[in-house]
Amino acid sequence: MLDLTPKEIVNREALRVNPCKTCQPVGAMYAALGVRKCMPHSHGSQGCCSYHRTVISRHFKEPAIASSSSFTEGASVFGGRSNLTTAARNIFDIYDPDIIAVHTTCLSETIGDDMGSYISDLKIPEGKHVVHCNTPSYAGSHITGYFNMMKGFMNYLTEKTGIPNGKTAIFPGWANPGDIRHLKKLCEAMKVRTVMFPDQSGIMDAPMTGKYELYPPGGTTISEIRSLGDCRRVIALGEFTSLEPAEHLEKKWKVPFDILPAPIGVDFTDRFIMALRRISKIEVPYDIEERRGQLVDLMLDSSQYTFKKKVAVFGDPDTVLGLTSLCLELGMLPKYVITGTPKEDFAKRARDLFEKYGAQDCLAKANADLFELHQRIKNDRVDLLIGTSYGKQIAKAEDIPFIRAGFPVLDRYGGPLLPIVGYTGGIRLAEKITEALMDRQDRDCKDEDLEAVM
Amino acid sequence: MPVKRDNLLEKYSAKLYKNRKEHIVQLDGEDAKIAANTRAVPGVMTARGCCYAGCKGVVVGPLKDVCVITHGPIGCSFYSWGTRRNKARVEEGEQNFTSYCFSTDMQESDIVFGGEKKLEKAIDEAVALFHPKCVMICSTCPIGLIGDDVQAVAKRAEKKHGIKAIGFSCEGYKGVSQSAGHHIANNGLMREIIGTGDRAPENIFSVNILGEYNIGGDGWEEERLLKRCGIEVVSIFTGDGSYESLQNAHLAKLNIVMCHRSINYIAEMIKEKYGIDWIKVNFIGVKATIRSLREIAKYFGDPALVERVEEVIADELSLIEDEMESIRLKLAGKTAGIFSGGSRSHHYQMLLADLGMETVIAGYEFAHRDDYEGREVIPFIKEDADNRNIEVLRIQKDEGMYRKFHSPEKMEVLKDEIELDRYGGMMRDMDAGDIVVDDYNHFETDELIKGVKPDIFFSGIKDKHSIQKAGVVSRQMHSYDYSGPYAGFNGAVIFGRDVAMALCTNAWTLVKPPWHDEPMLVGELTGGESHA
């Protein structure tokens, strides 16, 4: 496996090998799948739409609906206006969504399609909506596309009626439905009334009923998005995914926001709970505190198996920072902390975490790829890998235990249904991490060293 | 058949009706016509992909000793990274690039100022890191728009590094589906690779397997069978294939074609240039495999080979007969639908028939009329603006290398005995009443599932979960749901087991919660009962 990867690292300027990111439009599509009765629409050639639906379906093991403008060579020369017009008419006709969320592609961006004008010229049925965002694939990553789509929805739909709705908007960042469900439970327990935006729960984790629903009953509703301008506050989770949408709402409707890290691990979850507590001004219910205590208890009980264990964490910036924080809480050494998303502040945030826990000889890098990670591991190996599915190649090549987290996880089942956020998610991760490390110890030890009790 | 074609169409608007009615056929026992390989209608949720997917994802991506660099923003290379199950293995010391993903990861400045420099640099870096014998460049949408000349970059790289380098202008918007990408890839392989080698096969009976992508190891199973029969496989296009083996493809004696849609261009071009005949084979299904092996033996016409093939068939059959029979008992009478790319919907009908199952719906994502109606329709297919832009190579006879295995007289005889240089298409093998859909979309799939309720529906990942949510078993025809191989005798058994497993999965009985069947108010009757 990966036999051609040399140990010696040479600087590459042009060749990306085994990326740790993908392109903006898939992020826009996933964000749009978190809105009720919404048809995500890819304005480009149909391969983009097909690839994005495929990767989303493979991660969630769920249908991922989306339509395409199906550009041909002609459209690429003359512009995609008529493709979009035809598409919108057909989508409303056949699939009857409440809203079509259009995102662009590198094709329509390169030819300079003016989406705002195309959309304003559409005949949109009464009570229906078409919104758009620009997602040039040659800038940023899928994370950029995710928040661009959020901004697209807000751009078209939000308003301020002047009557505060008393709700707090939660921007969950790029999360699995299991995470979003858990965040909602925490907010409910903290008596904070929320608008979750976007909200893929109920859609990308729909139950088996024997009846297929094109639009499962989940997602942020249009009126909820509209009401974001009337919210008292935004709690934006994950600086790299949610800061821009939060700033957008602040700029547009003066809604103040808290920017917090993705609530993974004890400290980052504490910050989320404290933010909720400041809003509802209620004491933290016992069962939340109990859960927290259980997580810390678990960390202490198992600490000798995680202490100073070297780990490489890779994936999307906010998820990776959360996982890194948790690993540090477990006493581990996050040797390599890597994202493909080109956001240089990421490395700074990671280094702050290293410093906080006095972790030395750890490398944090944005705009990196898995080929480089593999090379670094060849030079100085780690005890554990945490990240997305493609890490399995490195895990196999170097015989390193591997835990899947983040997007995409294409090769396992059930993950998106369960949280990694909150204290509950922390317990799940801590269990996975200790189990992976201890299974390895059991596998590798001599017979006489195999412990019945650990 | 509870659903008629017209029920399916009546929900469409007039304009869409006019378009789609040509692509949906209900067979009536006569030779049918269908519209195919035309533009998908924007907004219908077609299952189709793009030209890049056909070129890089399908045809050239599987070549294991080639460093395939995607020139474009990061997405396209990412989505085609290890996602198509074109298995490959190498001998110690050989290069295998199939687990890698290479991209120029173009940024905004590359789009504005042009990406050729970055591409050249990327090739330099790839050569320095990996020393590949061959580099291929696959273009994504922006490349043609900004005017990067990937062929020129390839030529410069060849000179600079002394390797083979090939540029493919397979921008996603070209053509109307993956199909254009197949053609562009075929052209590149024909122009640049086939015929550049000189390693002649050792065996007089030698073939290339065309259009076999080794999904789940199908190609390996086919190769095993052919080897057992005493037939040498010179090259496979392109599953577990290599640049090195493709160079010698022109030295084989016969081309056997699995996926007609994606590779028929090469079959025809090799025939024109080198005189090598081709026969359409199908190793999916027991009877189909037997027929294919016999046709190959018949082509070579050697009595010892014919005998050997019969021995192999008898032996392979004896090993699977009992299990096939037990699977058949479970599956006989079940109905199936198949939507796939451009060949499998035909191939798998043969295997389903072996298992006693009936295919009542079949469709293709990107097939042409010849895949449905047979190759004799080709001269009558109208050219349109979309396919006119896909280059058709002008092939000239290679006077030095051109040779015919058989005399013209012998060919006349053979033509009547085996399906030589021709393909009859899918629809002739289907029954009256069956529905055929070209460029199927989400709406039509959903309606057919509801209306026809087949026992199992074979399709791709984009449909799988919605079909299953509707309560119908679905298996993926592109990835085999990570099972396989499904080819040959052994593959038939594995497929049968998988289908039986999917239909018998215990959890299907759990879909409905018990409280749905039991009314809330089941009180005990009081008063009338005697308590005495």
Could you read off the pLDDT of B152-165 as tens digits, one per residue?
999 999 999 999 99
Q: What are phi and psi of B168, to 5 degrees?
A: -115, 125
B67 as an active site residue: the answer is no
Q: Centre a 10 Å sphere on the Cβ of residue A298 and count the other Cβ atoms it contains.
A: 17
Per-residue pLDDT for B145 more than 50? yes
- Shortest Cα distance, chain A CAs vs residue B369, angstroms: 20
- Shortest Cα distance, chain A CAs vs residue B387, angstroms: 10
pLDDT tens digit sequence for A12-21? 999 999 999 9
Dist CA A164 CA A156 (whole Å): 20
Helix axes A345-356, A239-253, angle to 10 degrees: 120
- Is B159 part of a structural domain of the chain? yes
Residue A63, token pair as written in the block: 């249908």
- H-helix or E-strand containing B234? strand B232-238
B84 as an active site residue: the answer is yes
- Is B83 part of a structural domain of the chain? yes
Q: Do B43 and A74 touch (CB under 8 A)?
A: no
pLDDT of the residue at B532: 44
Of B20, B84, B260, B347, the active-site residue reads B84
Binned at pLDDT 50, 70 and 90, residue B251 comes out as very high
Q: Please compute the mean of the pLDDT values over residues B116-139 and round it to a whole number.
A: 98
Q: Do A136 and B108 touch (CB under 8 A)?
A: yes
Q: What is the residue-averaged pLDDT of chain A?
A: 98
B-chain residues within 8 Å CB-CB of A66?
A: 45
Q: What is the residue-averaged pLDDT of chain B?
A: 96
Q: CATH number for A168-287: choose from 3.20.20.70, 3.30.2270.10, 3.40.50.1580, 3.40.50.1980.
A: 3.40.50.1980
Q: In the A/B pair of chains, how many CB contacts fall below 8 A?
A: 267
Which residue's structure tokens are 């996602």?
B83
> Which residue in the set B52, B120, B130 is minimally distant from A47, CB to CB?
B52
pLDDT of the residue at B526: 63
Angle at A324 between CA A323 and CA A326, to 5 degrees: 65
End-to-end CA distance of chain A: 33
Secondary structure letter of residue B250 according to DSSP: G
Of B36, B47, B53, B154, the active-site residue reads B53
pLDDT of the residue at A265: 98
> Which residue in the set A41, A55, A71 is minimally distant from B173, CB to CB?
A71
Residue A363, token pair as written in the block: 């490398």
B-chain residues within 8 Å CB-CB of A373?
A: none
Give 3-state DSSP helix, strand, coil % of chain A, rounded to 5: 50, 15, 40
β-pairing verdict for A99-104 and A168-171: unpaired
Q: Do B45 and A26 touch (CB under 8 A)?
A: no
Of B36, B50, B229, B500, the active-site residue reads B50
Dist CA A159 CA A157 (whole Å): 7
pLDDT of the residue at B1: 47
Q: Do A51 and B53 touch (CB under 8 A)?
A: yes
Which residues fall within 8 angstroms of residue A78, CB to CB, at 6 or more apart? none
- Residue pair B134/B105 in contact (Cβ under 8 Å)? The answer is no
Residue B426, token pair as written in the block: 């899918």
- Shortest Cα distance, chain B CAs vs residue A387, angstroms: 16
A-chain residues within 8 Å CB-CB of B11?
A: 94
pLDDT tens digit sequence for B310-324? 999 999 999 999 999
Kindly list the domain boundaries of chain A, sorted by start residue: 24-157, 168-287, 302-448
- Shortest Cα distance, chain A CAs vs residue B281, angstroms: 29
B-chain residues within 8 Å CB-CB of A13?
A: 121, 125
Q: For an interface test with B, give the residue of A26, A43, A46, A48 to mutate (most B CBs within 10 A).
A: A46
- Is B428 part of a structural domain of the chain? no
β-pairing verdict for A384-387 and A363-365: unpaired
pLDDT tens digit sequence for A37-73? 999 999 999 999 999 999 999 999 999 999 999 999 9
Q: Do A15 and B47 touch (CB under 8 A)?
A: no
User: In 3-state terms, what secondary structure has residue A139?
Assistant: coil
- Is B264 part of a structural domain of the chain? no
Cis peptide before B238 (omega within 30 of 0): yes
- Is B74 part of a structural domain of the chain? yes
Among B361, B310, B337, which residue's Cα sits nearest to residue B4?
Answer: B361
Binned at pLDDT 50, 70 and 90, residue A451 comes out as very high
Where are any strands of DSSP class E within B472-525?
473-476
Angle at A377 between CA A443 and CA B100, to 5 degrees: 100
Judged by phi (left if over 0) then psi (alpha if -120 to 50, else beta), residue B195 lies in left
- Shortest Cα distance, chain B CAs vs residue A454, angstroms: 36
DSSP symbols for A185-216: HHHHHTT--EEESS--TTTTTPPP-SS--SS-
Q: Please compute the mean of the pLDDT values over residues B338-352 and round it to a whole number.
A: 97
> Which residue in the set A26, A67, A206 is minimally distant from B45, CB to CB?
A67
Q: Please compute the mean of the pLDDT values over residues A432-453 and round it to a whole number.
A: 98
Nearest CA in chain B to A87: B43
Secondary structure letter of residue B420 according to DSSP: B
Q: Please compute the mean of the pLDDT values over residues B385-405 and round it to a whole number.
A: 95
Residue B437, token pair as written in the block: 């859909």
- Is B21 part of a structural domain of the chain? no
User: In 3-state terms, what secondary structure has residue A452?
Assistant: coil
- Shortest Cα distance, chain A CAs vs residue B148, angstroms: 13
Q: Do B119 and A90 touch (CB under 8 A)?
A: no
Alpha helices in A227-316 (DSSP H): 239-253, 266-280, 286-301, 303-306
pLDDT of the residue at B4: 78
Q: Please compute the mean of the pLDDT values over residues A84-100 and round it to a whole number.
A: 98
Beta strands across the sheet bearing A194-196: A194-196, A168-171, A233-237, A257-260
| CATH assignment of the domain containing B77 | 3.40.50.1980
- Is B267 part of a structural domain of the chain? no
Dist CA B257 CA B264 (whole Å): 7
Dist CA A125 CA A89 (whole Å): 9
Q: What are phi and psi of B125, to 5 degrees?
A: -65, -40
B50 as an active site residue: the answer is yes
Among B98, B116, B117, B95, which residue's Cα sits nearest to residue B57?
Answer: B98
For B66, the domain range is 51-175
Q: Please compute the mean of the pLDDT values over residues B8-21 and round it to a whole number.
A: 94
Burial of A154 (0-12, 13-18, 19+ CB in 10 A): buried
B165 as an active site residue: the answer is no
Of B20, B23, B71, B182, the active-site residue reads B182
pLDDT of the residue at B5: 87
Q: Please compute the mean of the pLDDT values over residues A141-168 and round it to a whole number.
A: 97
> Which residue in the set A3, A84, A105 is minimally distant from B96, CB to CB?
A3
When divided into structural domains, chain B yields a total of: 1
> Which residue in the set B42, B74, B130 is minimally distant from A22, CB to CB?
B74
CATH class of the domain defined by A24-157: alpha beta
Dist CA A163 CA B381 (whole Å): 64
- Residue pair B495/B473 in contact (Cβ under 8 Å)? The answer is no
- Asked casually if ipTM beats, i.e. exceeds, 0.95, the reply is yes
Give 3-state DSSP helix, strand, coil % of chain B, rounded to 5: 45, 15, 40
Dist CA A88 CA A41 (whole Å): 9
- Shortest Cα distance, chain A CAs vs residue B532, angstroms: 47
Dist CA B286 CA B475 (whole Å): 20
Per-residue pLDDT for B528 more than 80? no
Q: Do B462 and A3 touch (CB under 8 A)?
A: no
> Which residue in the set A4, A53, A54 is minimally distant from B97, CB to CB?
A4
Q: Please compute the mean of the pLDDT values over residues A233-252 and round it to a whole number.
A: 98
- A288 touching B (Cβ < 8 Å): no
- Whether the domain at A24-157 and the domain at A302-448 fall into the same CATH topology: yes
Give the CA dihedral A101, A102, A103, A109, nearest 10 degrees: -160
Q: Please compute the mean of the pLDDT values over residues B294-304 and round it to a whole number.
A: 98
β-pairing verdict for B254-257 and A384-387: unpaired
Secondary structure letter of residue B32 according to DSSP: P
pLDDT of the residue at B523: 63
pLDDT of the residue at A256: 98
Dist CA B237 CA B64 (whole Å): 11
User: In 3-state terms, what secondary structure has residue B172?
Assistant: coil
- A9 touching B (Cβ < 8 Å): no
Dist CA A155 CA A101 (whole Å): 12
Q: Do B111 and A110 touch (CB under 8 A)?
A: yes
Exposure pattern of B275-308 as b/e (b: 16+ CB <10 Å)?
ebbbbbbbbbbbebbbbbbebbbbbbeeeebbeb
- Shortest Cα distance, chain A CAs vs residue B105, angstroms: 6
Q: Please compute the mean of the pLDDT values over residues A261-267 and round it to a whole number.
A: 98
User: In 3-state terms, what secondary structure has residue A315?
Assistant: strand
Tell me the CATH number for domain A302-448.
Answer: 3.40.50.1980
- Is B519 part of a structural domain of the chain? no
Q: For an interface test with B, give the residue of A138, A146, A390 to mutate (most B CBs within 10 A).
A: A138
Q: Do B386 and A69 touch (CB under 8 A)?
A: no
The number of helix segments (H) and strand segments (E) in chain A equals: 18, 14
> Which residue in the set B386, B442, B468 is minimally distant from A73, CB to CB?
B386
pLDDT of the residue at B521: 75
Dist CA B118 CA B105 (whole Å): 9
Q: Please compute the mean of the pLDDT values over residues A17-29 and round it to a whole number.
A: 98
Q: Do B129 and A47 touch (CB under 8 A)?
A: no
- A112 touching B (Cβ < 8 Å): no
Dist CA A182 CA A94 (whole Å): 35
- A354 touching B (Cβ < 8 Å): no
Binned at pLDDT 50, 70 and 90, residue B79 comes out as very high
- Residue pair A331/A302 in contact (Cβ under 8 Å)? The answer is no
Tell me the CB-side half-sphere exposure of residue A333, using CA atoms within 13 A.
15
Which residue's structure tokens are 């692509």?
B23
Which residue's structure tokens are 């009790």?
A453
